[in-house]
A and B are shown apart, each in its own frame.
Chain A
Amino acid sequence: MFKKILIANRGEIALRIIHACKEMGIRTVAAHSTADADSLPVKMADQAVCIGPGEASKSYLSVPALISAAEVTSCDAVHPGYGFLSENAGFAEVCGECNITFIGPSPESIRLMGNKSVARETAVKAGVPVVPGSDGPIESEETAKEAAGRIEYPVILKASAGGGGRGMRIVHEEAELMDSLKLVQAEAGAAFGDKAIYMEKFVANPRHIEVQVLGDKHGNIVHLFERDCSIQRRHQKIIEEAPSVALDQALREKMTSAALTLAHHIKYYSAGTFEFLLDSKGKFYFMEMNTRVQVEHPVTEMITDVDIIKEQIKVAYGMPLGFSQKDVSIFGHSIECRVNAEDPEKFVPSTGTITELHLPGGPGVRIDTAVYQGYKIPQYYDSMIGKVVVHAHTRVEAIHRMRRALGEFHISGIRTTLPLLLKIMHSEEFEKGEVSTRFIEDFLSRNAAQPTAG
């Protein structure tokens, strides 16, 4: 087994990786920026190496800094977490060249599925249904007009190199098309360094259903069922749950089958997630694949009792998966709420020092966080400060448990989205499970008249 792993990430996921390593007797090295010198992962890891200043481009996104850190501390593997370089095929390749195992899929898989329009084409080849769309990137204004005419409005323009819900725009009619095209191209160029965009049919009020898979380097691939991540704000997930109330066994079989077909088609190994859109008529379409561990992986861990990070490490080492498809089943229901350091109404990031913190506990409650009382939130990174995850026998129980957990979560010194999460959790709409990606928008406008308590 690996002796030492470099954690090329920060915050709660860095801590999550440290948890798994500690339990496996693997030493950890926390690569961190100057802004994270006082962070929990740095305190918890066996060793820490400062790799650069706060700006991610000079630290967490710097391939030389991370490789150098792994070399000087004699790490034999690196875990990239999520975001940052986790889906950077170049980084995965350099790791290989430097004899450091990249804990993730092959560079080829990352390359293939990282480009969203290539991923679509791959799905089509594998016989997996995709949202009707442009076959390949939009080359010109003429192509855009023709594709939109064929696909039929409303359409959505997306950055090929995009992800995380950024670099997208919905176009309702031809009059908006040209301006939207230019805007998305500019956004794509700025955010991802690649202006290529593709077009898809915009499925109105879909559910966002994703399937978790785990593969080893011996060709074994297993799915760990689905997650429902429909509750999003501006394409950023806020609440996730497993399993999805929208899936009956037949639909579940179809969707997990599609995910496995695609995974086998590209000979995938490590953890990966296939994202689908599910319309109100039970039709599903492949949207994109994330070739990394995801933020919301805990809800899957709770219902299957599989430690996804440990499995990633074992697979990376070359071990075969320790279980087969028939060994996993869904037990109970799990919900996750992401807590962001943001104003709960305006969603403006809130920086500052956490003056008081009491985290909920008790049965069926799991908190994945790297904040502590006295911690000063750095300005350089995303605003998520933690995840509240619950597990219970039924969805109703899970909702009650989440209401309790959120109610017991006490934090002062910064503003968080806890009040909004509580409102949603207490709402009838959420209880009924009638959610789609429009949920937040509708919920917020319905509740606009009632300001949330700070």
Chain B
Amino acid sequence: MDIEEIKKLIKLVEKSGIRELEVEEGGKKVRISKYEGGEVVPRTPVSYAPMPAHHVIPPAQASPVSPEEAGKSEAEEKYHLVKSPMVGTFYMAPAEDAAPFVKEGDVVSAGQTLCIIEAMKLMNEIESDVSGRVVKILPENGAPVEYGETLFKVEPL
């Protein structure tokens, strides 16, 4: 299995609805996993609870970064990172066919629900701990996230 073949496999997985592909050939094994939105295939059946959801959990270790640091031109330094307070599955919308809570570019206020993290069939609403503009949503819809993982980059306003 050479690099060209692996590239072909990656393209194949990318384009298709396949989430995970493992190929073994001559003692060598390649596994390609895709965590993607759109077709969400959770391992156990998930039932979306009607709004309002059961649990509201504050983000983990909210770490505000001082915006103006001498010598740092890096725009990243300005962002407030909203981190996951638990391990689970990240959902951008309250239900499968509903509109997402926020999109990149939206302005949010502190306390506003940004997403849901599902754990053990319970939907937990994650609220923003700052007011600002959502610059980036990091995980894909339906992706697993771990405790402390960055979910949103918010530019405080």
A and B found bound together: yes
Cα of A347 to Cα of B88 in the assembled complex, Å: 40
| Distance in angstroms between the alpha carbons of A31 and B89 in the assembled complex | 15
Q: Is B1 an interface residue (CB 8 A)?
A: no
- Near B by CB (< 8 A), chain A positions 41-98 give 49-53, 59, 64-65, 67-69, 71-74, 94, 98
Chain B, range 42-80, C-beta contacts under 8 Å to A: 43-44, 60-61
Knowing A68-B120, A72-B144, the reply to whether A51 touches B43 (Cβ < 8 A) is no
Question: What is the minimal beta-carbon distance from A78 to any residue of chain B, in angstroms?
Answer: 13
Give CA–CA (A312, B61) in the complex, Å.
38
Does any Cβ of B come within 8 Å of A452's Cβ? no
Contact residues in B for A74 (Cβ distance below 8 Å): 43
Give which listed residue, A51, A71, A98, contacts B147 with CB less than 8 A. A51
Contacting residue for A52 out of B43, B89, B144, B147, CB 8 A: B147
The residue on A at minimum CB distance from B61 is A53
Contact A49-B87, Cβ < 8 Å, known A34-B147, A64-B119, A65-B147: yes
Chain A residues positioned under 8 Å from B145 (CB to CB): 72
Q: Please report the C-alpha to C-alpha distance between residue A404 and residue B136 in the assembled complex, in whole angstroms.
A: 58
Give CA–CA (A51, B87) in the complex, Å. Answer: 6
- In-complex Cβ contact of A71 among B61, B86, B120, B149 (8 A): B120
The answer to whether B88 touches A72, judged by C-beta atoms less than 8 angstroms apart, is yes
- A53 contacts B147, C-beta separation under 8 Å: yes
**Chain A binding surface SS class:** mixed
8 Å CB interface, A12-52 against B? 31, 34, 49-52
Distance in Å: Cβ of B63 to nearest Cβ of chain A: 13
Q: Are B87 and A50 in touch, CB under 8 angstroms? A: yes
**Nearest-neighbor residue (CB-CB) of A27 within chain B:** B31
Quick check: B86 and A68 within 8 Å, CB to CB?
yes
A50 to B87, CA, bound (A): 7
Contact B44 A68 (CB under 8 A): no
Q: Is A99 an interface residue (CB 8 A)?
A: yes
Complex Cα–Cα for A53 and B84 (A): 12
User: Which of B43, B86, B146, B148 is in CB contact (< 8 Å) with A64?
Assistant: B86
The count of chain A contact residues (Cβ–Cβ below 8 Å) is 20
Pick the contact of B146 from A51, A94, A98, A99 — CB < 8 Å? A51
Chain A residue with the shortest CB-CB distance to B20: A74
State the CA gap A52–B86 with chains docked (Å): 7
> Which bracket fits the contact residues of B?
10 to 19
The reply to whether A34 and B44 form a contact with Cβ atoms under 8 Å apart is no
A96 to B5, CA, bound (A): 41
Interface 0/1 of B123-144, CB less than 8 Å to A: 0000000000000000000001
B148–A50 touching, CB < 8 Å? yes
Closest Cβ of chain A to B139, distance in Å, is 11
Q: Do residues B146 and A49 form an inter-chain contact, with CB atoms below 8 A?
A: yes
B87 to chain A, nearest CB (A): 5
Docked pose: A69 CA to B88 CA in angstroms: 7
A37: nearest chain-B partner, CB-CB: B148
Is there an interface contact between B120 and A50, defined as CB atoms closer than 8 Å? no
Q: CA of A94 to CA of B44 in the docked complex: distance in angstroms? A: 14
Between A31, A72, A99, the greatest number of chain B beta carbons within 10 A of the residue's beta carbon is seen for: A72
Point out the residues of chain B lying under 8 angstroms from A34, CB to CB: 147-148
Output the least CB separation between B11 and chain A (Å).
24
CB distance from B145 to the nearest CB of A (A): 8
Q: Which of B61, B87, B119 has the most CB of A within 10 A?
A: B87
30 pairs from A and B in contact (CB 8 Å cutoff): A34-B147, A34-B148, A49-B144, A50-B87, A50-B147, A50-B149, A52-B86, A52-B147, A53-B60, A53-B61, A59-B147, A64-B119, A64-B122, A65-B147, A67-B120, A68-B86, A68-B87, A68-B88, A68-B119, A69-B87, A69-B146, A71-B44, A71-B119, A72-B43, A72-B87, A72-B88, A72-B144, A72-B145, A73-B144, A99-B44
Smallest CB-CB A-B distances: 8 pairs: A72-B144, A68-B119, A50-B146, A50-B147, A68-B87, A68-B88, A69-B87, A49-B146
Residues of B within 8 A of A (CB): 43-44, 60-61, 86-89, 119-120, 122, 144-149
Residues of A within 8 A of B (CB): 31, 34, 49-53, 59, 64-65, 67-69, 71-74, 94, 98-99
**Additional A-B contacts beyond A52-B147, A71-B44 (9; CB < 8 A):** A49-B87, A49-B146, A52-B87, A59-B147, A64-B120, A64-B122, A68-B86, A73-B144, A98-B120
